[in-house]
Every structure is written in structure tokens, then in C-alpha cells.
Amino acid sequence: MTQRPSPASLERPNVEERTDTTRQDAIDRSPNVGVDRSQVISAGLRWSASWSLRMVIIAAGIWVAFKVIGIFWSALLPVILALILSTVLWPPARWLRSKGFPRRWPRRAR
């Protein structure tokens, strides 16, 4: 059978006693015995700094890519549109050829 705690043990301790006990319990249960906080913090800062540098490099690469695309945009736009148009029209063209339509329209005689 489970025993019920006595009413004396259910009384709340003073705030000072509770914080001291809690602090001591935390110190006793801490797996970080012998670990210097500066080492843990510096490892975290090193990790975040490396990821920040990666993000800056990626952003700079994207910026350079957009600048290059902006320079050649007058030549790239027709090529991109032609690729999209030919991709969209390929299935109907293949279907028409399978039904016997010629690849090229006959030329008109002059």
C-alpha cells in the first residue's frame, strides 16, 4: 500500500529555504561539473558565426547572379520564353506528327 505523507511534510518551506534547496539540488544534479561556461558559449558563438558567414556568402552569390542576369536580360528573356513555348507546344506537335501532319508546312509557290 502507498503511504500518505504526513501533514507536517506538506507544509511549504520558506522562500529562502526553498531557493537554497533548489539551487543546491540543481548543483547536485548538474551534468556539467567541470565544464567552463566560456567554452560552451564560445562554441555556440563559433557555430552561429560560421552559419552567419555561410548565409552572407550565399546572399552575395545570389546578388551577383541577379546582377549578371540583369546585364544579359535582353538576351535571356527571348531564350527563356522560347524554351517555355517549345516545352508547352511539344505534346501537341508530337500528337499531330503521329496523326500524319508533316514536320514542315508546304511552301507556297510564287
CA dihedral 20, 21, 25, 26 (to 10 degrees): -30
- In the chain, what percentage of residues exceed pLDDT 90? 39
Does the pLDDT at position 57 exceed 80? yes
**pLDDT tens readout for residues 35-46:** 677 777 788 888
Residue 61 is predicted with a pLDDT of 98
- Please give the mean pLDDT across all residues of the chain: 80
Q: What is the mean pLDDT of residues 32-59?
A: 85
Give residue 103's pLDDT: 77
| pLDDT over threshold 70, residue 97 | yes
**pLDDT reported for residue 105:** 72
**Three-state DSSP string of the chain:** CCCCCCCCCCCCCCHHHHHHHHHHHHHHHCCCCCCCHHHHHHHHHHHHHHHHHHHHHHHHHHHHHHHHHHHCHHHHHHHHHHHHHHHHHHHHHHHHHHCCCCCCCCCCCC
Kindly report the pTM of this predicted structure.
Answer: 0.45
Contact 62/55 with Cβ under 8 angstroms? Answer: no
Half-sphere exposure of 23 (CA within 13 A, CB side): 6
